[in-house]
């Protein structure tokens, strides 16, 4: 899957962004990874794709480790945009103050 300018498009990709040490780990296992370096222009798209991938893995497993992977991607996105995690936390708290959180478990019933 990959993103176009405004929508998610499902397709099979033959490459994906990986963590920095993954090539070393692959080599330690006796394999030879084929790699290339992403351009700065590509990184936003690759990180958004990685966010979808990691979120999907969390949806499948429910694992806290997958949430940590999601957060790693979020931290990199924020870093590249010059935004701190504290900035996002302030926005989150403001939104929570105005709209609430999810503590009550309210489910909106949608008309068909």
Whether the predicted model's global pTM rises above the 0.85 cut? no
Q: Alpha-carbon distance 36 to 32, whole Å?
A: 13
CB-based contact 80:43 (threshold 8 Å): yes
Q: Alpha-carbon distance 101 to 98, whole Å?
A: 9
The span from the first CA to the last CA of the chain, in angstroms, equals 29
28 exposure class (CB count in 10 Å sphere: 0-12, 13-18, 19+): exposed
Q: Residues 13-59: pLDDT tens digits?
A: 689 999 999 999 999 999 999 999 999 999 999 999 999 999 999 99
Helix axes 64-81, 85-99, angle to 10 degrees: 110
Q: Residues 53-84: pLDDT tens digits?
A: 999 999 999 999 999 999 999 999 999 999 99
The domain spans of the chain are: 2-99
Q: Alpha-carbon distance 31 to 45, whole Å?
A: 28
pLDDT on residue 112: 76
pLDDT on residue 44: 96
Instruction: Check whether 9 has a pLDDT greater than 90.
Output: no
HEC-encoded secondary structure of 52-90: HHHHHHHHHHCCHHHHHHHHHHHHHHHHHHCCCHHHHHH
């Amino acid at each position: 899957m990959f993103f176009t300018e405004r929508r998610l498009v499902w397709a099979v990709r033959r490459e994906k962004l990986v963590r920095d040490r993954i090539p070393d780990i692959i080599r330690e296992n006796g394999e030879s990874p084929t790699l290339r370096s992403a351009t700065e222009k590509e990184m936003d798209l690759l990180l958004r794709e990685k966010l979808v991938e990691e979120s999907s893995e969390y949806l499948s497993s429910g694992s806290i480790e997958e949430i940590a992977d999601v957060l790693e991607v979020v931290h990199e996105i924020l870093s590249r945009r010059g935004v701190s995690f504290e900035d996002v936390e302030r926005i989150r708290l403001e939104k929570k103050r105005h709209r609430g959180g999810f503590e009550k478990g309210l489910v909106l019933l949608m008309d068909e």
